[in-house]
Structure formats: C-alpha cells, structure tokens
Amino acid sequence: MKASTLANLLETHRPGYSLDQIFYTDAGVFAAEWEYIWKRYWLFAGTTAEIPKPCDYFTYSVQNDSVIIIRGDKGEVFAHYNTCRHRGSLICLDESGHAPKLMCPYHQWVYNKDGSLFKARLMPDDFDKTSFGLHPVHVRVANGFIFISLAQDPPDFTKVLNDYEPFLKPFRIDKARVAFKKRYTIRTNWKLVAENFRECYHCGPAHPEYCNAVVGANLRESSDEVLAERKVEWRKKGLATETVDFENDSFHFAVRYPLRPGVQSYSLDGKNVCIPMGDHRDFDAGVLGLVVYPNFWMDAVSDYMWTMRVTAVSPSETVIDLAWLVDGKAEAGKDYDVDRLTTFWKITGEQDWALCENNFKGIESSRYSPGPYAPPELEVARFVDWYLDRMREGLHESVSI
Amino acid sequence: MKASTLANLLETHRPGYSLDQIFYTDAGVFAAEWEYIWKRYWLFAGTTAEIPKPCDYFTYSVQNDSVIIIRGDKGEVFAHYNTCRHRGSLICLDESGHAPKLMCPYHQWVYNKDGSLFKARLMPDDFDKTSFGLHPVHVRVANGFIFISLAQDPPDFTKVLNDYEPFLKPFRIDKARVAFKKRYTIRTNWKLVAENFRECYHCGPAHPEYCNAVVGANLRESSDEVLAERKVEWRKKGLATETVDFENDSFHFAVRYPLRPGVQSYSLDGKNVCIPMGDHRDFDAGVLGLVVYPNFWMDAVSDYMWTMRVTAVSPSETVIDLAWLVDGKAEAGKDYDVDRLTTFWKITGEQDWALCENNFKGIESSRYSPGPYAPPELEVARFVDWYLDRMREGLHESVSI
Amino acid sequence: MKASTLANLLETHRPGYSLDQIFYTDAGVFAAEWEYIWKRYWLFAGTTAEIPKPCDYFTYSVQNDSVIIIRGDKGEVFAHYNTCRHRGSLICLDESGHAPKLMCPYHQWVYNKDGSLFKARLMPDDFDKTSFGLHPVHVRVANGFIFISLAQDPPDFTKVLNDYEPFLKPFRIDKARVAFKKRYTIRTNWKLVAENFRECYHCGPAHPEYCNAVVGANLRESSDEVLAERKVEWRKKGLATETVDFENDSFHFAVRYPLRPGVQSYSLDGKNVCIPMGDHRDFDAGVLGLVVYPNFWMDAVSDYMWTMRVTAVSPSETVIDLAWLVDGKAEAGKDYDVDRLTTFWKITGEQDWALCENNFKGIESSRYSPGPYAPPELEVARFVDWYLDRMREGLHESVSI
C-alpha cells in the first residue's frame, strides 16, 4: 500500500464511528499494522509459570517469526529468534520443552541458553563463533507476565512494570500453576476482538453467565454503590484499587471492579473454583482486569487468573490462546476441577468468538458502512483513536526515513 | 487490471473460437466481470415457494455480500444487505428462517421487514433512526422466481416478466413445494458452466439418461417432426410455445421442446415422478427451458421444476445450488419419492460438473489455445459474444466516468 | 518481479553462504525460476517400466501443465500437452492407463498416439484437421528414464545420454518392474530439497540407518580405502566407475560409491531385499547415484533402484514422487517383500522431509540471515552457484529479447 493511500485513509476516518472496511480486510493495511504496531510494541508471550525451572522453554509464533523463550540458570528469561545461524532451520520444534543447550536438529550447531554459539562442528579453524549467536529478542517480565518486542528499539516498559506491580504481586504468578490452556483460530480481524473486549453494550443479551457474575455488566443497573463499598474493604486488605487509565500515549491499563454481592468467583454458580491464589486469603478481590495493546487481556479473580493472548495471522484470521492459572500449591482433582475452573470463560469466550466472526463477515459486505458507536462504547472509540494514532505515527516515521 | 489491457484482450478475441485462457483464470478479469456483469444484471436468488409465509426469509451470499430476502406481511418480497448499520455485524446468521423483526445478534439493533430501523437501544436522543435503515437491494419477482440486483440502477426487467408470464403461470410457483435442495462447489470458471448448458454437442456420449428422455439431444436424430406435432397439442391446452430468443441486447430466453414420444418426465424410466404441477392436468407439457444470464437456469416438465442457481466465487470456483419444486399439494412419500424425483438431474448435473472441472483444468495449461466451436455450439458462441459485449460496455462506461 | 530487482538480488549474493530469504519464499522469484530453469531444462517424468506396452500412458503435472507420456506401437515414447485443441478439456483424466486412441471426454475429439488429430465429429467440411494436433512436448529416454522439456528449444541432452549409458545399461530399466510408488507433499522450497540431497553434513545425527549402510556417510571415517578396493572389483565385472562430475555448464552427474563392507543393499539389516537387478549377478555394485537438475535424483544398489522426482508447486510447496524398481522377473512375495524393499528409503526420506520443512520454517523468519556453508557442504554451494548462474542467464536472455 502506498504511503499516500494509507495517509489518506487515516485522515478521512470519521471520529466516533467504526473503521472503514479496508482497515479490517486489506492485506496492505495489515502489513502496515504489522510494522507500525505489532513489531513496535510489546507482545504478551506467556508466563514464567510455564517455565518454572532453568532450561524450560516455550516458543511463540507471530507471523513468520518463531521466538524461543527460555529460563536461564538464575531464573532469568531469555528470548531468541528460532532460526539457526547456519542455514536457518528451526531449532526448537516443539511448543514447549526442556533444553540445557539449544541444538539445531539439522546440522547440530549448539547454542547456550543466552543465545551464544557453543559449538559448530567441522567448521574451519578461522570461523568466528562470536558472530553467530542467535538473534536476540527484547524481553521484559512483569511479575511473571513475559512480554517480548520484535522492535529494534521498543518503547519504554517501565510504566507498565510499575503500574502492574501492586496489582499483580499478590497473585505470585512465578509460583503459579498453569492449570489449562486452549487455542482457538477464528475468522476475524484482530481489532474486532480488541473492540469486543472493550465494551459491555453487547453483554446483556450475549453473555448471561458473565452478567450473572459481574454487577452492572448488563448496563441495566448501577455498580457504583457496590464498588464504593468493596473499595473500602479491598484497601483494608492492601489490595490495589487505583485504576490505571488507558491514555493515548500509553498502551496499557488496569482496573479492579466488583463481582455481584455474594459471588466469589467467575463461575456458573458464583462459588469459588479453587483455593485463593497467592497471597489472597479470601474470595473478595473482585475482578482485576488488565489490557496491554495490542495482544494481551487478563482477568483475575481471587482464586484464578485467565490470560488471553491474541495473535493476528492475517486480516481475516486471529489466533486466541487462553490460559488458566491457579495457586502453585493447588492440586487438580483436590483443590480444583479443570472443567469447573474453565467452563465460565470457555462459554463467555466462545460467545465472543462467534460475535467477532459475524461482525467480520458483515463488514466484508460491499455495502458495509461505518456506524456510530453508542455511548457505552466509549472505550472502543478510544482504542480506535489509539490505533489510528499509532498508524499515523508509524507512517510518519517510515516516510521520514 | 488496467483498462487498456482489458480493452486489448476484448479486441483480440477470435470470433467463433473459445476465449483466451486469461478470461477463465485471471483474478483481474474476474473482478471486471464482477463489476460489469454480476453487479449490473439480475441474479436469481430463489423462489417465493421457499418463503411461503410473512416473516419467512432466506439469505443469498454473492461474493462478500450476504443478502436477506424476506416476505412482508402482504406477501411482498424485500431484499436487504445483511450488514448492521451499527458496527456491521451479520444480522441473519442462518440460510433461512422466520423473523417478525430482524435483530442484530451483536448489540440488538432491531429492523423492520422493510429494512427501516425499529430500535437502537441506548443511543443518544438526537440519534436519527431514519438514516440507519438496512441498505436496500433491488428485487423483482417473476411468477415466483425472485431476482435481485446489486446495481445502483439495474437494467429494465419488464421484458423478462412479460415474456415469462405465459410460460410460468401454469406452474403456480408461489404455491409450490420445495421438495429438495442440493449444493455443489466445483473447481471451474462460471462461464464454463454457462457454456456447458448451451450446447448438446457433448450430450450424446456424456448424458445417456438425458438423451433417453429428450428427442434429438444426441444430435443423431431430428426432433422437427415431434416438435411440430406436440406444438399443436400444447396450444390446444393453452401452453405457451413461442420461443423467446436470446438477443445480444437482452439477457434471457425461454423455449419449450418435446420429450421423446412416450416419455412423461425427466426420469430414468420415462414415467412421471409426481402429480402434475399447478394447472397442468397431464404429463404432456414437454420441457420448458429458461435461462437468465449470468446465473439462472431452469428446466420444468409437467410434474416438476428444476432450478439451477450459479454463483461465481473466484475464477476457479463456482457454487451450484439446485432446487426441485413440485406441486404445493404434493406430499412426500405419497405423491412423490425424493430419490426418484431428484435422481435424473443429480446424475445429469454431476456428469456436467465433471466435464466443467476437466475443461477448466485443461484450459489452465500454458499451451491451451482457443479452439473452434463446432456448428452445434452456435449458442455457446452467442453467449461468448454477449459476454464480451457486456465487458466492452462496462469498460467503456467505467472509463468514461 | 522487475528485472532490475532480480538482477540486484543475484548480484548481492555472498558466495559460500546460503541464499537470501527471498529466493526461498517469494512468488516473483519462483515465477522467474519457472521460466529460467523449470521450463528450460529437462524434467524427469518417469520410467519406461511404467508403460511397458504400446498404448500404455501416464501423466505428469508440472504447475498448470499436465503432460501425457504414451508408448507408441514401436515402443517409442511420445509426450503431449494434455489439453484438447477444441475447447481445452483435459483428455487423460487418470494418472495412468491404456489408450489405443486419445479421446477427449467432453466432445469426443480423437487423437492418435503421436498427437495428430484423428477425428473431430460434426466439424465443417473445410475444417483442417492437420492444424489441430495435440501440442507436442520434447522427450528423451535415457536407458528407460524418460525426460521431458517444456522449452521451445531445450538444451542438448546428448551428454547425459552418453554419460549415463554405461551406468544404467546393466539395470535393464525398460524391462524392470515398478514395485512401489509413494507421493509426499511437503511444505518447503524445492531448492532446500536439492540442497539437502547434496551434503552429508547432516547424515550422522539425522540418518542412522543410512550411515549404517554407507561407509563414510557419518563424516567420522574415511571411505578411501574401501572405495579403492571396490573399484578394482567393479571394473573386473565391467561396471562403470568413472565419476561424471557436475560442471557449472552441465546439469547432471553420476557417481558410484561403496556400501559398508558386508552390506549388500540399502536395507535395515544390510542384506539384499530382492534378486539382483538386470545384468547384475551379485550384490556388489555399491551405490550408483545420479542427479539431473532441477528435479531428478536416483540411487541404485545391486538389487533395486530408487527414483525421486521433485516437483515445485509454489515457493512453499514441493511434491516428492518416489518409485522403487526391481528386476522385471522378480515376483512380489517371492523374490521381494514390498515392506522390506521400501522401508529403508521411506525412513531416510521422511527424515529428510522433516529437516527440509523445518529448514523452510526457520528461513521464513524475519531475522533469518544467510549463514556460511561448512566444508562438507561444498556441493551445496556448487548447486547454489549453478542455480544463480541459470537465473542470471535466463534474466539476461529475457531482457535482451
């Protein structure tokens, strides 16, 4: 896509309305998003709970890049491009594993966990091993949440680390147990998922289970009173309650909001589904909600944490990876039942995938025209503004070069 | 595809020969066809027999556009683009159903059957509902056959309505029963299907069942005498017999031709497969054949009607939707057996899909070269000429703009 | 792809390093390869053993071209494009068969085995049949190996015929039996298969079965002594031993190398899997290895022959067709067991497909960078040089036109 074409598209957007079709369906726009957003910002990869021991690793594939995330001997986290410096083969073939050294399966070049080349057999004597380490990927760990960036010079992550610390510390993610993971591949644009998860205009009719758990989600009742009450209690227990607002020049937010009185957890019957997680001592932490654009969503209640990693594959395809984390000491079958733990978000998530797929199909119509956001969709409009600004920014910088 | 490239292709066609490869395989040509033919002309969507009651609807998907066809309270037929004016979601998710109001499943905007917006909850007071009705689609009903046009200003349909009236009236399609439907997705170009259905040069060897039923189809015998005899009888019964010729400036035709003496219907044994349809009182109506370019074919005998809706998906993919209609009072298991009713056209159709797929594969060869049509393929040549003229016309108009 | 872009890519290659990503993944490069290599050179199609009798035929599909290879009445081999001169349909629908005449299934135009048009029914009297024979394809037979070329003026094949004659004659391929065939479709670039099959740097760890059979394949032991000994014996029996080197201005090579002492055949236990093939009288012919770029690999031991036909489908897809040939008098169940015959190369081949697929996936990474070939990969570097020279040559000629 020509820079002038994209610039024109960005200029003609009508504020307060949904985006033009081309932003959801066009391969050229998608390529620009990839450069200006996905390869510039921080992507949630997974949690340290998935790689508890040194030499544990997992891989994360974004577009054509497979990234190895591996624990060092001191608990540190390294990230490398999963492509051998010899002839380019994938090194780690599995989505997760344990490897004291990283050995390429093709010609057995061997790398250390920090990415440096350990051994390349039969190479000439003058071969300079130090020039052939694995290409590094930036990595940051926010209380157990691992974020990577494919950028050369990624944006500062300090504010996210600081803002999230008080919210996340009590969950003790580094010691948590990954109780279940599930992958969905859905036919929709990634931004429609992002939009869906920023408004509850659809919740009343679409999510009866969610509305049973969360006060006010149906937009037919106020949650103000309950929230005020709970905040007092939460503060007494030392739980963070100060909302981290999403600002146009940031890319994250955090909020704690109340469950319906008497509801202990995200579950179909409102009762807890596991023992309290980490430092929590009861089932009264409400819901902690986090978002880091473009690919991370998380909701945590007192007894479990649900992470959503969104990966854009093409304009029309998005992969959703869900994980359920519980306290590290919790035992399956005793302290939690996997079905009971996961049912609530499977049901709610699958309702959303269908909405997002139908939204995309309708947008593909030659007669789709952007429509006005309703007042309860304010945060969607803010996301769209953020998105457009990032695109303008990226375009501006790339044209300047 | 550049206008000059297409213009050049259209100019260099050798009359009386099949089209160049590029017309069958190229995405640019396909896009031009879409603009100049599929989005300008009338497309067969289905029959009123499929939506007998007010609020009954079905959807038809052409390229990225899903269209809702719904019966109004007075039996009238409305057609709308299936995309919500709020954020674009599909409204009707099923291929058919019954809906007193059309409600979007995402945020519950509600539309009337005529497409006007009935309710949009939580929108501001100054929101102007009248500006957000569903985008309309042109619709015409020819004695129960529903045609739509995605054009802004479609060609006049009056001549088709008038020409078809005497042929179709006796079948009473509005009261008919849809006995069976079947969909095929085949790997071929839509024009090869159109060409296949305009000549019987292939019938003798390829369609033994069809040739058993239709006198002269094998090109080894004359049907003149039988036709002359039958015409006299048909006229006595008030059946229309005047062929509606396909003219280069029209897009439809109609013809009645005889079955082999003693054959009552399109069936493997030549016997009728249902009670006479509509006003027919015997099994001597011969075959009524209709074509409306680019997507409608129909053959009707005295006891049933077979419709073929052709939908171009891409240069190499075509969807074929078949429907078998019988008299509205006919009961399955008593007056007809579904297998017996449908076998003849399943066999004959599937023979044709194979021919069309093999034709396409051969045309994909780098060494395919257009070949001469044989004398019995005159109507194919006329279709090709019509097609080329429509493309020239569309190109001319779009360049003029 | 613009000629200047490709020219620049060809210039900036770093000798001794693997190719840039674009050579493996780009559709424009692939299209250029198709023109400059696949449509200019000779492609292995199959063996005369597959069409032992007059009128036997098989088809070979390369890109969009299906080619009919058919035996004439005197045992000669004809090759034609599989597209009817009437309206272009495929003529032979099956991958192999027997046809005294080639009849198009659509309108029954009939061709002779030499491709001339025999009959076109109902065509006008002035129709000139001689102008509508099947489009011919160049064909050469090297002791039973059938090569075709889609070029207008293919390179001279005489040197291949002469060089291969002494090696192949003893196998009596024309009288051989095709004991088994197997097709694999793998997600990799065809050049990665070519590279894989030109080095044994990977053999030690990746191919334990192969290293058990072939002395020196693991690169940890010398085969010089064994080779010198065997050569004396081979010459006594009249077996060709002079290596045909691969030169940059040729496109083939041949080499005979020894099995490990005591090993009789490519088998898991080292014992023969069939009776000696053709003129061979023992199991001491070592391994005969042939390559004809871009698509033919063959390994033959005393008792069987294994051919590999590589067909590039797209930058990321390659079809591998394997065939196992044994002596014409050998009987399945008595002289050989199909499982025992084929296990060795199924195992070894499937190890290679996985390596080639993983190699491709890693090369797709945005951070893949060409790496240095190791000394045992000299022949890979030579193939890459040959490839680049052919591309330069083709580009030069096409620009000159």
The tens digit of pLDDT for each residue in A127-181 reads 999 999 999 999 999 999 999 999 999 999 999 999 999 999 999 999 999 999 9
Chains with 3+ CB–CB pairs under 8 A to A are B, C
| Distance (Å) from the alpha carbon of B96 to chain A's nearest alpha carbon | 16
Q: Would you call B65 and A374 a contact, using CB atoms and an 8 Å cutoff?
A: no
Task: Answer yes or no: are the C-beta atoms of B117 and B17 closer than 8 Å.
Answer: no
For residue B144, give the amino acid letter: G
Backbone phi, psi, residue B216, to 5°: 90, -10
Nearest CA in chain C to B360: C89
Task: Answer yes or no: are the C-beta atoms of C370 and C20 closer than 8 Å.
Answer: yes
Q: How far apart are CA C266 and CA C288, in angstroms?
A: 12
| Distance (Å) from the alpha carbon of B206 to chain C's nearest alpha carbon | 7
Chains with 3+ CB–CB pairs under 8 A to B are A, C
Q: How far apart are CA C376 and CA B125, in angstroms?
A: 78
Q: Would you call C86 and B358 a contact, using CB atoms and an 8 Å cutoff?
A: no
Of C64, C87, C127, the CB nearest to B18: C87
Measured between beta carbons, the chain A residues lying within 8 angstroms of C369 are 85, 88, 135
Residue A246: enclosing H or E segment and its boundaries? none
Q: Would you call B107 and A201 a contact, using CB atoms and an 8 Å cutoff?
A: yes
Q: Is the dihedral of CA C363, C366, C370, C376 positive or negative?
A: negative
Measured between beta carbons, the chain B residues lying within 8 angstroms of A363 are 83, 88-89
Measured between beta carbons, the chain A residues lying within 8 angstroms of C355 are 89, 105-106
What 3-state class would DSSP assign to C101?
Answer: coil
Structure tokens at C203: 């053999």
In terms of C-beta density within 10 A (0-12 exposed, 13-18 middle, 19 or more buried), how is residue B36 classed? buried
Nearest CA in chain B to A373: B86
Q: Which of C152, C136, C157 is nearest to C401 (CA)?
A: C152
Task: Give the best residue of A87, A103, A123 to mutate against chain C (max C CB count within 10 A).
Answer: A87
What residues contact residue B224 under an 8 Å CB cut-off, 6+ apart? Answer: none
Measured between beta carbons, the chain B residues lying within 8 angstroms of C122 are 201, 219, 374-376
The tens digit of pLDDT for each residue in C226-267 reads 999 999 999 999 999 999 999 988 999 999 999 999 999 999
Measured between beta carbons, the chain B residues lying within 8 angstroms of C63 are 366
Residues in chain A where the model's pLDDT stays below 70:
400-401
Structure tokens at C258: 């020894």
DSSP character string of C109-127: -EE-TTS-EEE-TT--TT-
For residue A17, give the amino acid letter: Y
A171-207 burial by CB neighbour count: b if 16+ within 10 A, else e? bbbeebbbbbbeeeebebbbbbbbbbbbbbbbbbebb
Residues in chain B, overall count: 401
The tens digit of pLDDT for each residue in C99-112 reads 999 999 999 999 99
B201-227 burial by CB neighbour count: b if 16+ within 10 A, else e? bbbbebbebbbbbbbbbbbeeeeeebb
Q: Would you call B81 and A361 a contact, using CB atoms and an 8 Å cutoff?
A: no
If interface means Cβ-Cβ distance under 8 Å, which residues of chain B face chain C? 18, 195, 201-202, 205-206, 219, 355, 358-359, 361-376
The tens digit of pLDDT for each residue in B346-384 reads 999 999 999 999 999 999 999 999 999 999 999 999 999
| Distance (Å) from the alpha carbon of B195 to chain A's nearest alpha carbon | 29
pTM of the predicted model as reported, rounded to 2 decimal places? 0.96
Q: How far apart are CA B204 and CA B211, in angstroms?
A: 6
Q: Would you call A369 and B85 a contact, using CB atoms and an 8 Å cutoff?
A: yes
Nearest CA in chain A to B152: A367
The tens digit of pLDDT for each residue in C228-237 reads 999 999 999 9
Residue C11 has pLDDT above 80, yes or no: yes
Measured between beta carbons, the chain B residues lying within 8 angstroms of A368 are 81, 83, 88
Q: Give the pLDDT confidence score for residue B355 in this predicted structure.
A: 98
- Three-state secondary structure of chain B: CCHHHHHHHHHCCCCCECCCHHHHHCHHHHHHHHHHHHCCCCEEEEEHHHCCCCCEEEEEEECCEEEEEEECCCCCEEEEECCCCCCCCCCCCCCEEECCCEECCCCCCEECCCCCEEECCCCCCCCCHHHHCCCECEEEEECCEEEEECCCCCCCCHHHHHHHHHHHHHHCHHHCEEEEEEEEEECCCHHHHHHHCCCCCCHHHHCHHHHHHECCCCCCCCCHHHHHHHHHHHHHCCCCCCCECCCCCCCEEEEEECECCCCCCCCCCCCCCCCCCCCCCCCCCCEEEEEECCCEEEEECCCCEEEEEEEEEECCEEEEEEEEEECCCCCECCCECHHHHHHHHHHHHHHHHHHHHHHHHHHCCCCCCCCECCHHHHHHHHHHHHHHHHHHHHHHHHHHC
Q: How far apart are CA A294 and CA A34, in angstroms?
A: 11
Q: What is the DSSP letter of A362?
A: H
What 3-state class would DSSP assign to A58?
Answer: strand
Q: How many interface pairs between A and B have CB atoms less than 8 angstroms apart? A: 82
Q: What end-to-end distance do the CA atoms of chain A give, in Å? A: 17
Structure tokens at A238: 């030392």
Q: Give the pLDDT confidence score for residue B401 in this predicted structure.
A: 57
For residue A188, give the amino acid letter: T
Q: What end-to-end distance do the CA atoms of chain C give, in Å? A: 17
The tens digit of pLDDT for each residue in B116-169 reads 999 999 999 999 999 999 999 999 999 999 999 999 999 999 999 999 999 999
Query: What's the whole-number mean pLDDT along residues B248-258?
Result: 95
Q: Give the pLDDT confidence score for residue C401 in this predicted structure.
A: 57
Measured between beta carbons, the chain C residues lying within 8 angstroms of B370 are 88
Nearest CA in chain C to B359: C89
Chain position carrying tokens 């300079």:
A128
Q: How many interface pairs between B and C have CB atoms less than 8 angstroms apart? A: 84
Q: Would you call A106 and C355 a contact, using CB atoms and an 8 Å cutoff?
A: yes
For residue C77, give the amino acid letter: V
Nearest CA in chain B to C129: B372
Q: Would you call C106 and B18 a contact, using CB atoms and an 8 Å cutoff?
A: no
Measured between beta carbons, the chain C residues lying within 8 angstroms of A65 are 365-367
What residues contact residue B190 under an 8 Å CB cut-off, 6+ apart? Answer: B294, B295, B310, B311, B312, B318
Measured between beta carbons, the chain A residues lying within 8 angstroms of B106 are 202, 206, 355, 358-359
| Distance (Å) from the alpha carbon of A21 to chain B's nearest alpha carbon | 9
DSSP character string of A137-185: -EEEEETTEEEEE-SSSPPP-HHHHHHHHHHHGGG-GGG-EEEEEEEEE
Q: Give the pLDDT confidence score for residue A289 in this predicted structure.
A: 98
Neighbours of A168 (CB within 10 A): 23
Q: Is the dihedral of CA B236, B237, B242, B243 positive or negative?
A: negative
Q: How far apart are CA C45 and CA C311, in angstroms?
A: 10
Q: How far apart are CA C239 and CA C81, in angstroms?
A: 38
Residue C74 has pLDDT above 60, yes or no: yes
Q: Give the pLDDT confidence score for residue A388 in this predicted structure.
A: 98
Neighbours of C74 (CB within 10 A): 6
Q: Which of B206, B258, B203, B266 is nearest to B230 (CA)?
A: B258
Q: Would you call C88 and B375 a contact, using CB atoms and an 8 Å cutoff?
A: no
What residues contact residue C2 under an 8 Å CB cut-off, 6+ apart? Answer: none
Q: Would you call C65 and B366 a contact, using CB atoms and an 8 Å cutoff?
A: yes
Measured between beta carbons, the chain B residues lying within 8 angstroms of A202 are 106-107
Give Dmax (Cα) for chain C.
Answer: 75
Q: How far apart are CA B242 and CA B253, in angstroms?
A: 11
Q: Would you call C372 and A105 a contact, using CB atoms and an 8 Å cutoff?
A: no
Q: Which of B302, B296, B292, B343 is nearest to B326 (CA)?
A: B302
Measured between beta carbons, the chain C residues lying within 8 angstroms of A105 are 205-206, 355, 358
Chain position carrying tokens 């932003």:
A23
Q: Which of B330, B1, B385 is nearest to B191 (CA)?
A: B385
Q: Which of B394, B374, B373, B393 is nearest to B384 (CA)?
A: B373
Neighbours of C249 (CB within 10 A): 7
Chain position carrying tokens 């680019």:
B294
Backbone phi, psi, residue A223, to 5°: -105, 5
Chains with 3+ CB–CB pairs under 8 A to C are A, B
Task: Give the best residue of A95, A107, A134 to mutate against chain C (max C CB count within 10 A).
Answer: A107
Q: Would you call A368 and B88 a contact, using CB atoms and an 8 Å cutoff?
A: yes
| Distance (Å) from the alpha carbon of C308 to chain A's nearest alpha carbon | 21
Q: Would you call A64 and C364 a contact, using CB atoms and an 8 Å cutoff?
A: yes
Q: What is the DSSP letter of C261?
A: T
Nearest 5°: CA angle at C288, between C286 and C292? 165
The tens digit of pLDDT for each residue in C91-148 reads 999 999 999 999 999 999 999 999 999 999 999 999 999 999 999 999 999 999 999 9
Nearest CA in chain A to C21: A88
Task: Give the best residue of C350, C365, C383 to mutate against chain A (max A CB count within 10 A).
Answer: C365
Task: Answer yes or no: are the C-beta atoms of C113 and C25 closer than 8 Å.
Answer: no
Measured between beta carbons, the chain C residues lying within 8 angstroms of B359 are 87-90, 106
Q: How far apart are CA A168 and CA A278, in angstroms?
A: 10
Task: Answer yes or no: are the C-beta atoms of C113 and C102 closer than 8 Å.
Answer: yes
| Distance (Å) from the alpha carbon of B305 to chain A's nearest alpha carbon | 32
User: Complex ipTM, two decimals?
Assistant: 0.95
Task: Answer yes or no: are the C-beta atoms of B257 and B287 closer than 8 Å.
Answer: yes
Measured between beta carbons, the chain C residues lying within 8 angstroms of A150 are 366
Percent of chain A topping pLDDT 90? 98
Task: Answer yes or no: are the C-beta atoms of C73 and C54 closer than 8 Å.
Answer: yes
Nearest CA in chain C to A131: C371
DSSP character string of C138-193: EEEEETTEEEEE-SSSPPP-HHHHHHHHHHHGGG-GGG-EEEEEEEEEESS-HHHH
Task: Answer yes or no: are the C-beta atoms of C297 and C11 closer than 8 Å.
Answer: no
Nearest CA in chain A to B107: A202
Task: Answer yes or no: are the C-beta atoms of A285 and A302 closer than 8 Å.
Answer: yes
Q: Give the pLDDT confidence score for residue A401 in this predicted structure.
A: 57
Of C205, C358, C370, the CB nearest to A89: C358
Task: Answer yes or no: are the C-beta atoms of A250 and A386 closer than 8 Å.
Answer: no
